[in-house]
Structure 1
Amino acid sequence: MTFTATTKSLSHLLLCSSILVSSSWTFCVSAGTNQQFHINIPTLERGASINGQLDEPQWQNAAIAELEYETSPGENIAAPVATQVKIFATDKSLFVSFIAKDPDSSASNNLIRANITDRDALWGDDLVGIKLDTFNDERLAYQFFVNPYGVQMDSIENELTGEESNAWDGIWHSSARKTDEGYLVELELPLRLFNFDSKLDIQTWGIEFIRFYPRDKTHRLSTHSIDRNNNCQLCQLGTATGLKGIEPGQDLQLTPSLVMNRNSQRDLDPLDDWRSDNNIEPGLDIRWGITPNTLLSATINPDFSQVEADAGQLDINSTFALFYPEKRAFFLDNKDYFDTQLQLLHTRNIVSPDYGVKLTSKIDNHTFAVMATNDTKTNFLVPGNLSSDIASIDEESYNLAGRYRADFGSELSIGALVTAKQSEQYHNYVASGDVKYQPTQQDTITAQYVFSTTEYPDDLYKEFCSEDTCIPDSSCELGDCGINERVLRTKLDDAISDDFYRLKYVHKRRNWFAFTQYESAGDDFRADLGFISRVDVTKLVAGGGYIWYPQDSSFNRIELSGDWDISHNQSGELIEQEAEARLEFEGSMQSFTALGFVNRDRVGRRHDASSLAIDGNTQMFTENVGWLYFEFTPFRQISVELDADYGDSIDYSNDRLGTQLFINPGIEWNITDSVSLDLSHMYRSLDVDDGELFTANLTDVRLSWYFNINNFIRISSIYTDIQRDPSLYLYSSPKESEQSLGNEILYGYKLNPQSVFYLGYSDGMQSNDNIDSLTKDEQTYFMKLSYAWLL
């Protein structure tokens, strides 16, 4: 094991020694190591022009590496194609170039898979890129990839959560072009992008150069081998030294914006007049790198609207609130600093703020993050063990989140998170502690404890029922009144407090894995700035699987796995017990296939709605469901996927068992390298003894045309059609027919992720039992302009 002569390395060595003395474990991991791969990055006086030519003399003095290994699907075998990378630095930027060869030079332009598309939407394309752990501590790594047209993709890999997020968007520069031998890529990564310890004369960063080479299979190529018997990814990076005396320099970014829109609405009546509002909103985002390790972000009168609609979701025969991902830039910047194993911060709960400020910092092995915003609305999730829903209070709220994490060597991380959401008549305060311990390469233990205290407004419960049916009593039998679980969990006389805890153990080796997890959410636990949709529940899960890596086969990976889980409420009453078996294949035509079978016993709705009891108040149903998912790329231009299941399903409206069919096909057709069509359709039906209870269809169509990597036009439509048989509903009289159609046409110009111009139009149409044809009831014209000034 090689250690550099730094304070950090010495402390790491001392920690390893103490672990060896105090326990039976004899394994201690450093971060990126010279044994994996090493490169010394020279610092030059002048940078290169990013034009895809590589004809400047600076490249002759750059460090050179070859991507000699295929790490997937082959296991550290020789790379099937040649890739050369060069790298050097100046006092302001890193410069990297790739020469990616294709074996059939006469047809390379036809074999290369590349499209002009959205930033961060490149998976499936030929790609080259770099992974950098600038503190070489295995916690976070920046990733930058470019396709043969110069389209960018960046992300942050988080070893603590085991997730990779492309939500982060940096401003950097790239150029690429196809050649007779393959393609060539140049990129410049300004040092202002990175957090690193500028006090060091010589830097040591974790590094990996990567190429994705998709043909019949997607080949991952690297500068070094990857051990599949090691459960840690970032500790298998190589090292880059050099970068002598680099400083990130002044890092101040000002992004003024202007948003203009005209929104018109009317009741669902073609004869009604339109009610229109015109809005002009100037705003300012500030991003200031106070030190190389500390970033301050602030926003004043921000535009937090989304330019493009969320993907369509069907909300039928479901008792829990739908989840939508965050897309807004201010909240995504350094989002990973707030992450824990539980989703205690989900910023979509902050709807319409007037201002926000965020401070993130990393000092030695300590990471800090704090964020504060107001919100002109107060939205939060009301959880339960059989259902959840979104509540809204017409008051301004104040929102705060703070996170601290300490990393003791590479094996141990300890953190804390606090959140607060408060308005005049309401508050929710949350405090959490978490730990992640990796005693060996194969073993990971995580634990988290959370405590919350909450106070609701006295009349909040009325939001979930009509006022004349909001008094729970014993006569409130199934279907006889408007009481539901959300009413009982919000009709409270005093503030409530409770806790949540989770303990998880994972053992993972090259060919097999096993895991177990136990969690408990108290009756009165709430995490209103997060997305915890189930409370008053305990859950135990155990599972494992075996993995084969066939040689000389059309399949390159086969996994057989399964798990068993059981859930009770806090009184020990059974809610659900489930066993599932799965089989997965990866193989030719970049295919992935998974299929499985689930046997599940779980309860339906409560009979006496005035009680939260399970035993004697619910019926237990047995569901047997088979499911299938596959995706493959039969041709260069076409990718296909299908998600489907068939089997028993509880009819929650009527508390009985039915038979569900769910089919969700999708196709991505790259008509040309710059024109693409994304089409998906979702079909769901539920049959009961006396007939078909409902059918639901959702179609999502998006047509994109890119003039170049900066300019595009996109047309999208989301159509929903739900048909019910009201005669089959026992306790309610739903609408027989519901239809909706949302359309949008959008022109966009993106100089970089923060310098953008959007111009668009959207509308919404609906029909129901009273209006039998789609009728427009909403329309919006909008324009957004922002420009990032880098000072």
Structure 2
Amino acid sequence: MIKPAVKRRLLPLVLFFSASSVFYAQAGETTQFNIQIPTIEGQVEIDGEFNETQWQQAAAATLAFETSPGENIAAPVKTDVKIFATQSSLYLSYHAKDPNPEQIRANLSDRDSVWGDDLVGIKLDTFNDARLAYQFFVNAYGVQMDSIENELTGSESDAWDGIWYSAAKRTDTGYQVEIELPLRLLNFDNKDKQTWGIEFIRFYPRNEEHRLSSHQIDRNNNCTLCQLGVATGLANIEQGNDLQITPSLVLNRTGNRPHEENSEWDNDNNIEPSLDLRWGITPSTLLSATLNPDFSQVEADAGQLDINSTFALFYPEKRAFFLDNKDYFDTQLNLLHTRNIGAPDYGLKLTSKLGDHTFATLITDDTNTNFLVPGNLSSDVASIDQKSHNFAGRYRFDFGKPLSIGALVTAKKSDDYHNYVSSVDVKYQPSDHDTFIAQYVVSDTKYPTDLFKEFCNTDDCLPKQNCDLNDCGVNERVLRTQKNGSFSDDMYLLKYQYDSRNWDAFAQYISIGEDFRADLGFVDQVDFNKFVTGGGYTWYPTSGFFNEVRLSGDWDISHNQAGDKLEQEAEARVQVNGQWQSYATFGVVHRDRVGRRHNGASLVIAGNTQMFTETMGWFYGNIKPTRTLFMEVDVNYGDDIDFANDQLGTRVKFNPGVNWKITDSIEMDLSHVYRTLDVDEGRLFTANLSDLRLSWYIDIHNFIRISSVYTDIERDTSLYKYSTPNAQYQQLGNEVLYGYKLNPQSVFYLGYSDGLKADDEVDSLMKTEETYFMKISYAWLL
């Protein structure tokens, strides 16, 4: 139920949107660029050669403009593009000319990991409504990249992987690329003739990374997809049967043992068959289904340090079933994070776009029930040993180009637990510069009566006598889960953003009630409200080392729902882009922030916390001085709260990284995090994390990768006043992996991984887990 006060806040905004005139029937404009794509009979062999007769009949274009760093100036090199369609595929050819072809930057690499290489590609808005666009790129070795650009959220994701075909060939005058995009992987209106938004693109990285385009891009317009050109024609194209069946088989042998001397191994052999189905019912309606799905993650997540942090870590989704048309579910708030669904027996997803209407539905079960328990000073993950049923449904209506209104519903339910979430959202862009966003969300939740015991620090879960600083047997997670019956609350977001060529500004207010939960999403903080405002100015020098300079800053203040201040912060930043493909940004943060609760048995902030004043400086920079070397560094120095002891310390963080293309097919990726926290009495802890990955790409399909992630944390336990952590903790994870990828869904993996630990009880690294695994899957395209 929407609270009356919230109704009063939202009503003027809704009336304003409803009364606004709706204009712009389509997004892409013929005044930007226009190409008529012919439909031609016959097939083309994708080999990087253009010797078929169809290429003589194809439509042609040139990439005449540099849009970055130059602002719509003449392109420094010539690029010729040809395009045509058959009834079932879209074909493109690129002749990327280069006066110095020996300087072409290209490497054999993993899919979606060749940014910084010489690339050619295309951007397609197949509904021409400036909401979503497909992007397809290929480097000079034929390595593919694809992604989805989402204008509504302002995000771009390369997690989605389509099955399409490409080949590249180096020549004496540059390189050639040939591409086939089967229409089965695109969503579009079921019409005899199509009108699509389109842009042909080339990235030409030398001293600077030049972005070349088929048409000009106006930096004074904050909508990028509104500036696509128009492709017409495409007569009588169709997706065909558009049926994909992908059986998979995963075999693994896993061993685990307790982290104790002379402990015994517990080994388990597992064979998991699975079946995925993807059916394009119409060109704009997709049904995906899975049985006993293989949701194994072959490659480990990047290492993260979890120290002196009170909030749960975020890990991105990587699983194909959830990623297909994921953008159809997206809103301004992260209300659907499918990594919360761990091990389902089945999954069913239907997505569709009919004219201005977009629909998306997801149904799965889960053998375990996992979700975040959020607070205003901390969050953690809870688990219920019960099967759950999960549902998400999304609807969006687009009033032409400027206005979108949507709704999202999610549900997560097991025997004595549920979480239901309902949301409405609005995005309105009345001009090239202004954007208004509003979203309102309500939730209804019920926890098992004994869930709170999972977070207790005492057997009886009662506060200790004369306790201090959360050493009470009770903490925020206990109090947030100690609920009787159902409870509900709301969340809302209001935002205005102004963007022009040089100036930008924004203001945002978000409020989340203390009993709000979004268990299928990633909302890790509740019982707070925050107002933030800021802006900046950007220059585009046409001479000198830098080609872009930006000054910006923001100010924010946060309170809990009782009105007690949690944080107040001001930040100033400088950002520059320059030669050697360099980027740097640095700034200073000054803030007041509360530490831990003194009495963990109470959620009160006023009189129960201490306010600390922090000043911190930070720097991040990266540079690619040669075609083989990319370097980056992230540095923090300044005040930081010691949450374990509720005092102010001095933080140092040094995080360098390097990617070295040893040859065109062998690369090393190394990063290291060094963190310390000093307090008045000495150094509280020193933490190191190293992440090393060596990859050999035998050819475009085969690779071997060796990776190791090592964590080493040393603490001075005499400086911990209220707890006794390990003085030493080490963890090492290793993996050796061979992979063959015919395409993203037709793969073969063979590998080994293990994990080793050390702490005060076992002071040398001891192997506690190991896995031998094989995975094979093949996508049948019918």
Q: Same fold (TM over 0.5)?
A: yes
- Match for 2:37 among 11, 34, 41? 41
1:394 partnered with 2:385? yes
Letter in 2 for 1:243: L
Letter in 2 for 1:304: F
Deviation at 1:733, TM superposition (A): 0.8
CA contact (8 A) 1:583 1:595 kept: yes
1:294 partnered with 2:279? no
- Match for 1:186 among 178, 193, 198? 178
Q: After superposing the two structures, state which structure 1 stretch, 462-471 or 666-675, moved more.
A: 462-471
User: Map of 1:230-379 to 2, 5 A cutoff?
Assistant: 230-379=221-370
CA contact (8 A) 2:472 2:601 kept: no
1:706 partnered with 2:697? yes
- Match for 2:560 among 559, 566, 569? 569
| 2:721 aligned partner | 730
The root-mean-square deviation of aligned C-alpha atoms, in Å, is 1.4
Aligned residue-pair number: 768
- Match for 1:683 among 664, 674, 681? 674
- TM-score normalised by length of structure 2: 0.97
Instruction: Report SS of the residue matched to 1:468.
Output: coil
| 2:192 aligned partner | 201
CA contact (8 A) 1:479 1:732 kept: no
State how far apart, in whole Å, the 2-side matches of 1:156 and 1:471 are: 50
CA contact (8 A) 2:241 2:280 kept: yes
User: Map of 1:517-596 to 2, 5 A cutoff?
Assistant: 517-596=508-587
- Match for 1:598 among 583, 589, 599? 589
State how far apart, in whole Å, the 2-side matches of 1:27 and 1:195 are: 24
| 1:158 aligned partner | 150
Q: 1:765 to 1:230 in 2, by over 3 A?
A: same
State how far apart, in whole Å, the 1-side matches of 2:612 and 2:717 are: 23
CA contact (8 A) 1:202 1:244 kept: yes
What is the aligned-residue identity percentage? 68
Per-residue CA distance 1:434-473 (angstroms, 9 max, x = gap): 0000000000011100000100011111111234251248
1:99 partnered with 2:95? yes
- TM-score normalised by length of structure 1: 0.96
Deviation at 1:27, TM superposition (A): 7.9
CA contact (8 A) 1:762 1:780 kept: yes
Letter in 1 for 2:29: T
State how far apart, in whole Å, the 2-side matches of 1:22 and 1:654 are: 55
| 2:6 aligned partner | none
State how far apart, in whole Å, the 2-side matches of 1:162 and 1:47 are: 37
| 1:775 aligned partner | 766
Q: 1:597 to 1:169 in 2, by over 3 A?
A: same
State how far apart, in whole Å, the 2-side matches of 1:570 and 1:238 are: 48
1:70 partnered with 2:66? yes
Letter in 2 for 1:53: E
Deviation at 1:609, TM superposition (A): 1.0
State how far apart, in whole Å, the 1-side matches of 2:114 and 2:219 are: 25
State how far apart, in whole Å, the 2-side matches of 1:350 and 1:446 are: 29
Instruction: Report SS of the residue matched to 1:325.
Output: coil
| 1:433 aligned partner | 424
State how far apart, in whole Å, the 2-side matches of 1:589 and 1:620 are: 44
Deviation at 1:502, TM superposition (A): 0.2
Letter in 2 for 1:136: N
Deviation at 1:270, TM superposition (A): 4.9
Gaps of 5+ in 1: 1-17
State how far apart, in whole Å, the 1-side matches of 2:261 and 2:94 are: 59
1:118 partnered with 2:110? yes
State how far apart, in whole Å, the 1-side matches of 2:245 and 2:691 are: 36
Q: 1:533 to 1:600 in 2, by over 3 A?
A: same
- Match for 2:480 among 489, 494, 509? 489
1:137 partnered with 2:129? yes
Letter in 1 for 2:543: D
State how far apart, in whole Å, the 2-side matches of 1:71 and 1:728 are: 56
Per-residue CA distance 1:264-301 (angstroms, 9 max, x = gap): 01112352221100000110000001111110000001
Gaps of 5+ in 2: 1-14
Per-residue CA distance 1:515-550 (angstroms, 9 max, x = gap): 000000000000000000010000000000000001
State how far apart, in whole Å, the 2-side matches of 1:93 and 1:302 are: 29
| 1:513 aligned partner | 504
Deviation at 1:786, TM superposition (A): 0.2
Deviation at 1:555, TM superposition (A): 0.3
State how far apart, in whole Å, the 1-side matches of 2:612 and 2:775 are: 51
Per-residue CA distance 1:729-772 (angstroms, 9 max, x = gap): 00011110000100000000000000000000000001111111
CA contact (8 A) 2:22 2:400 kept: no
| 2:120 aligned partner | 128
- Match for 1:455 among 440, 446, 459? 446
State how far apart, in whole Å, the 1-side matches of 2:35 and 2:364 are: 43
| 1:9 aligned partner | none
Instruction: Report SS of the residue matched to 2:335.
Output: coil
Per-residue CA distance 1:402-423 (angstroms, 9 max, x = gap): 0000000000000000000011
- Match for 1:51 among 41, 44, 47? 47
CA contact (8 A) 1:469 1:483 kept: no
- Match for 1:615 among 606, 613, 633? 606
Q: After superposing the two structures, state which structure 1 stretch, 314-323 or 763-772, moved more.
A: 763-772
| 2:80 aligned partner | 84
1:446 partnered with 2:437? yes
Deviation at 1:346, TM superposition (A): 0.3
Instruction: Report SS of the residue matched to 1:463.
Output: helix
Letter in 2 for 1:115: N
Letter in 1 for 2:529: T
Per-residue CA distance 1:343-379 (angstroms, 9 max, x = gap): 0000110011111000000001000000010000100
Q: 1:444 to 1:481 in 2, by over 3 A?
A: same
State how far apart, in whole Å, the 1-side matches of 2:469 and 2:189 are: 63
Deviation at 1:201, TM superposition (A): 2.2
Instruction: Report SS of the residue matched to 1:326.
Output: coil
Letter in 2 for 1:42: P
Letter in 2 for 1:486: R
Letter in 2 for 1:675: I
Letter in 1 for 2:93: S
CA contact (8 A) 2:462 2:473 kept: no
Deviation at 1:616, TM superposition (A): 0.5
State how far apart, in whole Å, the 1-side matches of 2:30 and 2:465 are: 71
Instruction: Report SS of the residue matched to 2:226.
Output: helix
State how far apart, in whole Å, the 2-side matches of 1:67 and 1:628 are: 36
Deviation at 1:634, TM superposition (A): 1.5
Deviation at 1:26, TM superposition (A): 11
Instruction: Report SS of the residue matched to 2:459.
Output: helix
State how far apart, in whole Å, the 1-side matches of 2:192 and 2:727 are: 72
Q: After superposing the two structures, state which structure 1 stretch, 490-499 or 407-416, moved more.
A: 490-499
| 1:383 aligned partner | 374
State how far apart, in whole Å, the 1-side matches of 2:533 and 2:25 are: 27
CA contact (8 A) 2:737 2:750 kept: yes
State how far apart, in whole Å, the 1-side matches of 2:141 and 2:237 are: 31
State how far apart, in whole Å, the 2-side matches of 1:95 and 1:28 are: 30
Instruction: Report SS of the residue matched to 1:506.
Output: strand
State how far apart, in whole Å, the 1-side matches of 2:131 and 2:541 are: 32
